Chains A and B, each alone.
Chain A
């Protein structure tokens, strides 16, 4: 299973863009990169996913490098409610399993 590496924690000022990096150097060609976040004592919330191309939705943008070995989740205008643990996950191709790593704890401050 492809593993991901994320910084343990990051800070971001409210209103600024939050850029969360993720390394997944062993990703296979048919494996998707998924991002979820978890606010304390809640179930993970789906944010975005992608295979090769950059993706954007109402929550965030996902930038995937051309070699697919890393990606960046961008929250364009962080708010205090974006404080959470963000998980970058490479979805296992055959079994659809999501193997969670330790994630990045994002703290948005006023």
Chain B
């Protein structure tokens, strides 16, 4: 299957700082990428849909000014958590697909964010 990577795999930061997480499709071009968040012992929650070259579409309740998403190329999307606080500590996971309603989404390994 297709490979999606994330960097970093884990990060610890101080409250008030910003953290950038990268999501890359390694062996295919991803017209659409998705960002999810997962709290301990809970399921994945979709945060936003990112299409290459256009603004991301955020799910209800997700602050677009706090979670900045950029999808500048067909192989890279970034999520920046701005002014992070301890409640933003979570497991952030991206997925990527080539396009079309029958294309499979492939997930990255996730990034563990801990805000002190």
Contact = CB atoms under 8 A, between A and B. Distances in A.
Interface of A: 30, 32, 34, 36, 38, 41-46, 49, 51, 87, 91, 93-103
* Prevailing SS type, chain A contact patch: loop
B104 interface: yes
Given A97-B49, A100-B45, A103-B43, A43 B108 contact: yes
Interface string B71-108: 00000000000000000000101010100011111111
Nearest to A49: B104
B34 interface: yes
Interface of B: 1, 4, 6, 32, 34, 36, 43-46, 49, 91, 93, 95, 97, 101-110, 112
Contacts of A99: 46
B30 to A, nearest CB: 12
Contacts, number: 58
B46 A98 contact: yes
A38 B42 CA distance: 12
Given A43-B110, A44-B93, A46-B1, A98 B105 contact: yes
In the A-B complex, the 3 residue pairs with the smallest Cβ-Cβ separation, listed nearest first, are A43-B107, A100-B44, A100-B43
